[in-house]
Structure 1
Amino acid sequence: MSSTDLDAPPLKSLLLAIVAVLGLHVLAAIALVAIKTPELKPEPKKEMLPLEIKFVSLPAKMVSTEVEKQTVTAKKEVQPEVQVQPAPQPEPKPEEPVKQPTETPVKPKEPVVKNVEPKVTPVIASEKPRPDTSQKVAPKEPLPKPKVDNSAAEAQRQAAAQAESERQAKKSEQEAQARAEQEAKRVADAKAAVQAKAAAEAAAAQARAEAEAAAALAQSNEPVSFTASSANWASAPNFSFPERAARRARSGDTLNVVLVLRVNKQGGIDNVRVAQSSGNPLLDKEARRQVRSGKFKPFTKNGVPVVGDVTLPISYAVP
């Protein structure tokens, strides 16, 4: 048996270890399944208050002044390079004439030159100065416009204005004339209406009067005079010279008698009287008898039958 076989664990132990590991995994899985997961509650929504934004505008002058100050300060802080000048040598004192000591030559001290680095202050990058809007900007003088000949346009405009004025005047005149015609027509119509009303009232009054008169005439027996020409015979009598009256007359003579007849509303002759005698009483009597044989058409006035008196002349020729 080799050395590797001796060092390897037995197969039974290996299987037990695998089974134990699998059992632990199964138990862990069951435990995880059995544990209730906490319910996640939704957080209440917070009401977002509206943001209030307030714009603060700084005056332009102050900003420009601060920028100018910073620029000037930066310019002032820049110092020029320092030029080192040698220190002035002290003037030698005048030698005393009495003592003449031996002088040892003294070398003058060389001036110590210090390298002074110039202090350069950093220039702060500042904002560009805003233009001062409060200062009034001088208006630029407008360039002279080229002169344009507007005479033709002006003449055309004036002609159009004059034409429009004439049109408006003509329109106003026509409207005034139309109003005058309407007013005249209204007055004429009103006058005609008044006249028509008056005529109608007059006609109605006349008709009423005639009706009243007719009614009065119909009830009244007062005779109305008529002429022989306005009398119409319904049946005319036969006028002939009587023989008994010829004894007192000469042959060839013409005898005239005038009678007045009272005619009733039916046209009958109620009464006869002699208005003018013929001179022969027998002829007058015979004329009265003969005329009674006739009958007139009823006399009317305003359409109403009335009693009439008729004057009737009769001429007789002696045979």
Structure 2
Amino acid sequence: MSSTDLETPPLKSILIAILVVVGLHVLTAVALVAMKPSAPKVAPPKQTPPIEIELVSLPAALPKEPVKVVKSVEKEVTKVVIDKSTLAPKPQAIIKPKPVTETPKKPVVQERKPDITPLVKKEKTTSIAQEKPSQKQTKQEEPNPAIDKAISEQLANNQKVNNQQAEQRRLVAAQAEKAAQEAQLQQAQAQAQAQEAQRVANAKASAEAANDAAQKAARAAKQAEKAAKAAAESNEPVNFTASSANWVSAPNFSFPERVARRANSGDTLNVVLILRVNKQGGIDNVRIAQSSGNAALDKEATRQVRSGKFKPFTNNAGVPVVGNVTLPVSYAVP
């Protein structure tokens, strides 16, 4: 045997190596085929726990509505399954993976690997993804008395709490309204009391002012009366003119015949007399303030004037007083 024969491996070892490699490949292929593909992660439908599903404001009969929603979801899921089954390959394609699991022959694996693997993956993923919700939904459809009782109790408690809160709010509102009404009533009473006090004060002030004015007027009248009485009692004569004197009975002034002999016919003789008139209007005294130049005529004039009478003279207070009256008298000589 030459050196080259020693360096080359024997044919038997080569065949064994080839068989080992081929067997490893076959085992790898079989393992890949037999291995279940990882199902895609499908987000499971959100199912809230029974407590979270509860609606506080809804009546006790409404918790059954979530079950109806689940049924509608089931119907939708079944519809999706039917649609995909129509689009998927025939049932024979689903049965085909059986020979792959039975015989790990090279040609079968090499020929069917590219065709079967995608179909198996699609079918399994869809079936798994569609079967899981149905199982959960069937579980949800099963009635659970404990859950229903808990839901009803929770709703009753919530309703009770709501009623208590509403009653408390009503009481607080009633108390606030009552307090506001009392405050308004107190304010109205205080305002009425203030107005009444102001009215009483104004009436009192008016009465006091009227009383003061009446007292002042009474004092003034009393003082005037006292002054008039004092003036009357003092008998101080008050001077009056002939125009301000009123006769009750006027005297008859006639030219005497015995004086006519000594006077010229057609002449006018004037004499001025000052009369003292008492409180009754009578003439108590007569004196000559200006003579006519004829003593007999002056004397006759003083006699004639005494036959007359005046209305009593009074002062500003209406009290009769003694008066001095200046009276001019004219005589025409016949």
TM-score, reference length from structure 1: 0.39
TM-score, reference length from structure 2: 0.37
Higher helix share: 2
Which is higher, the Rg of structure 1 or of structure 2? 1
